[in-house]
Amino acid sequence: MQSSAATRPNSDLLTSLLTHDAGDKAEARDLAEIIEFVKIDPRPFARSSDDRPPARQGHLTGSAIIVSADGEEVVLLHHAKLDRWLQPGGHGEPGERLGEQVALREAREETGINGLSLHPEAPQPLDVDVHDIPARADEEAHRHLDLRYLLVAPAGSRLKTDPRESLAVEWFSWERLGELGLDQGLLRALAKARLAIIDAAAA
């Protein structure tokens, strides 16, 4: 007889999503969509699947809000293809079943920071967001169902830009974020991150 883990490969992921508190109505809608997607798709991080009908073309992604060890700064990268400031993150790889696995690996690859860790007090995921990805020459239009996690960088971490992914990677103070034209979903996630840092410091 198969174990329950074998018959429900997304059970840990689904549990984390079912206990997630949405920050606003937009996130609540996105969370509901992601939960339904995870319930019916046995490989939710796979970039393509013959089992998905055209109306459901998309996949989970994992991304990271990275804060400095003192909580005073956050990392953003200037995405090469989209020409905008975003958090590090991207697609899952074979064998990755949890958003935090994807977020940690992608964050390390895109920023060059070793020793990143999940913030011990923050919700996991910190935030969720669904957004449309336009069609390109080698890829049809689809949706990214993004799971976002709060990560902490070791003190003295230096950044390294991956030119395949970004034009720049920089530390920003919380006060500078308003200058960057960030989308509302990312601003919401950053606000949650800052609140988690403040709450942890006050505890």
At residue 51, the pLDDT reads 60
- According to DSSP, the β-strands at 89-91 and 58-67 are antiparallel
At residue 1, the pLDDT reads 36
At residue 2, the pLDDT reads 39
At residue 5, the pLDDT reads 40
How far is residue 70 from each of residues 38, 60, 66, 87, 176, measured CA to CA in Å?
35, 30, 12, 19, 17
At residue 50, the pLDDT reads 58
- pTM score, two decimals? 0.90
How is 68-127 classified by DSSP, letter by letter?
Answer: -TTSSEEEEEEETTTTEEE-SEEE--TT--SHHHHHHHHHHHHH---S-EE-TTS-SSSE
At residue 62, the pLDDT reads 97
Other C-beta atoms closer than 10 Å to the C-beta of 81 total 10
Bridge partners of 149, per DSSP, are: 64
Q: What topology is assigned to 4-202 in CATH?
A: Nucleoside Triphosphate Pyrophosphohydrolase (3.90.79)
The residues spanned by each domain of the chain are: 4-202
At residue 53, the pLDDT reads 55
Closest CA to 63 of 146, 184, 185, 171: 146
Q: What is the DSSP letter of 19?
A: T
Assigned token pair, 150: 């709060």
Cα of 93 vs its chain's centroid, Å: 14
Rounded to whole angstroms, the Cα distance separating 203 from 190 reads: 20
Rounded to whole angstroms, the Cα distance separating 101 from 157 reads: 20
At residue 187, the pLDDT reads 97
Which ranges of the chain have pLDDT less than 70? 1-9, 49-56, 138-139
